[in-house]
Amino acid sequence: MNDLENKFAQTIKQNKSTIYTVCYMFSHDDHQVNDLFQEAVINLWRGFEKFEGRSDVKTWIYRVTLNTCISLERKDKKRRGATEPLDMNINLFHDQDQDTRQIDLLHKRIGRLQPFDRAIVLLWLENMPYDEIAQVVGISTTAVSTRLYRIKEQLKRMND
């Protein structure tokens, strides 16, 4: 491996959980999460040599991964049309305590948001400051604050 490949491999290793978290927010299916992860890594590799360091590498990784997930979701919806997954209501591997139910409910509600809003919530849940969220998604800090307020209100109004 050359120096660039080593540096890339190290960067991915250090930020693997960030990439996975973003991908997980865009799918409930493990296979699709893995596909999104792979596509994100490919896109990160394509842009790695051109990354100039004007922003933090983690900010850049969020941006590329979010754009990858949003783009693939749009392409998938165009190709298939809107579908409703078959729910067997059987899950032998997850706890059913109150905390788990709350997390599942929040995840389902966030999954119903538009991709751009989902991205903003994800970054906010990752405790990213508003100015960094603005950098990642390409809007002003004020717009981030306004959108987050509206998104939170929308989440509160959602029925299960």
Q: Which two tokens stand for residue 150?
A: 């509206």
Which regions of the chain are under pLDDT 70?
77-97, 160
The reported pLDDT for the residue numbered 92 is: 43
Q: What is the per-residue DSSP string for 87-123?
A: -----SSS--SHHHHHHHHHHHHHHTS-HHHHHHHHH
Beta-carbon neighbour count of residue 107 at 10 Å?
12
Could you report the per-residue pLDDT of 113-146, keeping only the tens digit for each?
Answer: 998 999 999 899 888 999 999 999 999 999 999 9
- CA distance linking residue 141 with residue 90, whole number of Å: 42
What pLDDT was estimated at residue 104? 80
What's residue 83's pLDDT? 53
Residue type, 135: Q
Domain parsing of the chain, residue ranges: 3-157
The number of residues in the chain equals 160
Residue 16 to residues 11, 76, 154, Cα–Cα distance (Å) = 8, 24, 30
